[in-house]
Structure 1
Amino acid sequence: MKHKLLWSSGLLLITGIAFGYIETTYYQYLDENNALIESWFLPLSMLFVFLGCLGMFLFIIRAIWLVLKKLNQ
């Protein structure tokens, strides 16, 4: 496991997407007053997707930084 940040970011993204799928499939519904009922899966999915994207962004920035550092030597 050379790229722990990449793997953990991918796992966070997959988990966030799975939580979003579970939310839209099973837990979102309208009650008798036409109020939307949601569970904690929606905020968790947003959090996990955000953290996964942030990790991917940091991995790409670090990879670019290392390539540029190697080219300048």
Structure 2
Amino acid sequence: MKHKLLWFSGLLLIIGIAFGYIEITYYQYLDEKNVLIESVFLPLSMLFVFLGALGVFLFIIRAIWLILKKT
């Protein structure tokens, strides 16, 4: 486990995608007044995907920084 940040970010991305799938499949519907009903899974999925993407971005920036530092 050399790249803990990358693994953790990937895990966050997978959890976020799973929450989004659960939201779309089971909890998102229109009620009798045509109002969209959503659960807490939508904000959670957005949060986890954002944090995972941020972690991947930081990993890439750090890798580039280390490569430039060696040269």
Interval containing the TM-score (normalised by the shorter chain): over 0.9
Query: In the alignment, residue 47 of structure 2 is paired with which amino acid?
Result: L
Consecutive unaligned residues in structure 1, runs of 5 or more: none
CA distance in 2, matches of 1:30, 1:53: 31
The whole-number CA distance in structure 1 between the counterparts of 2:27 and 2:54 is 27
Output the TM-score relative to the length of structure 1: 0.96
- Distance in 2 between the 1:68 and 1:36 partners? 50
Residue 35 of structure 1, CA deviation: 0.6
- Tell me, in whole angstroms, the C-alpha distance in 1 between the residues paired with 2:66 and 2:6: 15
Deviation at 1:63, TM superposition (A): 0.2
Which of structure 1's runs of 4+ aligned residues deviate more than 6 A?
A: none
Identity across matched positions, percent: 86
Alignment-derived partner of residue 20 in structure 1: 20
Question: Taking structure 2 as the reference length, what is the TM-score of the superposition?
Answer: 0.98
5+ unaligned residues in a row in structure 2: which ranges?
A: none
The alignment of Structure 1 onto Structure 2 pairs a total of residues equal to: 71
C-alpha RMSD over aligned residues: 0.4
